[in-house]
Amino acid sequence: MANDLKGKKILVTGPTGQVALPITLALAQTNDVWGVARFSDAALRERLDVAGVTCITTDLSTTDFRDLPDDFDYVLNLAVAKGGDDDWDRDIAANAESVGLLMAHCRAAKAMLHCSSTAVYQHQGPEHPLKETDPLGDNHRVMMPTYSLAKIAAEAVARTAAREHGIPTTIARLNVPYGDNGGWPWYHLLYMKAGAPIPINCEKPNRYNPIHEDDFIRQVPALLKAASVPATIVNWGGDPATIEEWCAYLGELTGLEPKFDETDNTIGSVTCDLTRMHELVGKAEVPWRDGMRRMVEARAPEMLKQ
């Protein structure tokens, strides 16, 4: 669990995010946690304040971190900016430039966890589990024009900074995170509730590696322990499942019928080889059906069939 880290001073970027919030709250139980973000959602900031997180308002696309302490034991870069065609400069600055500036400022850290994405891979189809050594590419352009390239740029900066400053670093390529704090399957359920068709790629099945927040919280200490110079690069996900499968299961739970819109205007399968992850941090433990049911119980129990 994240509370295996105790009594440490930890910096988290983007602590209000879907992935970062549960990690930050878990770490704050036993550590001195600081969070940097724009904090545009006052309720989320208050939740972090109540949990004891020191919140510093900043914009990662413009900050130089000079007003932050530089004595953190660990740094978790969990922030992400996802703009559009007009936001290239901002997204490269927020996702990539900020990584180099942050690591230079926190060069005394014992380890850095940089959360990347399996969106960095060149699309290979549903039957090819992507390995860390597979080609990179502009995977998500059809949905988020800047996302894949900004993530690739951020990895390059993190790799350079790890070597330049001697900071042990893990770059974890996250697949489909979900849990009580939401995630992509949650949005699919909202589509179902509204009676709207869920976009899926024509190249079926649409296979991914969903990972529950209990698992990614639990694995943070091991990912930090795996950090190295040069940076450790590892896929991060759970057992494979398809959009078609998890939407059908959400339908069983709620009585709602999933409808699909087969289109080329959405991303195709991004499923990954988890051999290295299992060697470094172990397997995800929450079966995806259990995790999806718990997600609905936490976020919309009234939607469950009686």
Give SS3 for 217: helix
Q: Are the C-beta atoms of 233 and 285 separated by less than 8 Å? A: no
Reported as a single tens digit per residue, the pLDDT across 152-188 is: 999 999 999 999 999 999 999 999 999 999 999 999 9
Q: Is the confidence at residue 83, as pLDDT, over 80?
A: no
Region 111-129: mean pLDDT is 97
Region 38-65: mean pLDDT is 95
Report the DSSP pairing between strands 210-212 and 74-77: unpaired
Tell me which of 8-17, 44-53, 81-90, 291-300 is least confident.
Answer: 81-90
Q: CB-hemisphere CA count at 13 Å for 224?
A: 22
Average pLDDT, the chain: 96
Please give the backbone phi and psi of residue 96, each rounded to the nearest 5 degrees, phi first. Answer: -115, -55
Task: Go through the chain and tell me how many residues it has.
Answer: 306
Is the sign of the CA dihedral 224, 230, 231, 233 positive or negative?
negative
What pLDDT sits at residue 162?
Answer: 98
Strand locations in 21-100, DSSP E?
Answer: 32-37, 54-57, 74-77
Binning pLDDT at 50, 70 and 90, where does residue 2 land?
low
Reported as a single tens digit per residue, the pLDDT across 228-273 is: 999 999 999 999 999 999 999 999 999 999 999 999 999 999 999 9
Measured CA to CA, the distance from residue 25 to residue 35 in angstroms comes to 11
Q: Are the C-beta atoms of 150 and 117 separated by less than 8 Å? A: no
Give the rounded percent of residues in the chain with a pLDDT score beyond 90: 93
What pLDDT sits at residue 66?
Answer: 86
Largest CA distance in the chain: 58
Region 22-41: mean pLDDT is 97
Q: Is the confidence at residue 3, as pLDDT, over 60?
A: no
Distance of alpha carbon 28 from the chain centroid: 19
Measured CA to CA, the distance from residue 274 to residue 283 in angstroms comes to 8
Tell me which of 18-32, 57-71, 122-136, 187-201 is least confident.
Answer: 57-71
What pLDDT sits at residue 84?
Answer: 65
Burial of 24 (0-12, 13-18, 19+ CB in 10 A): buried
Domains of the chain and CATH, by start: 2-182+210-239+273-285 (3.40.50.720)
Helical (H) or strand (E) element with 232: strand 232-236
Binning pLDDT at 50, 70 and 90, where does residue 87 land?
confident
Reported as a single tens digit per residue, the pLDDT across 209-225 is: 999 999 999 999 999 99
Give SS3 for 260: strand
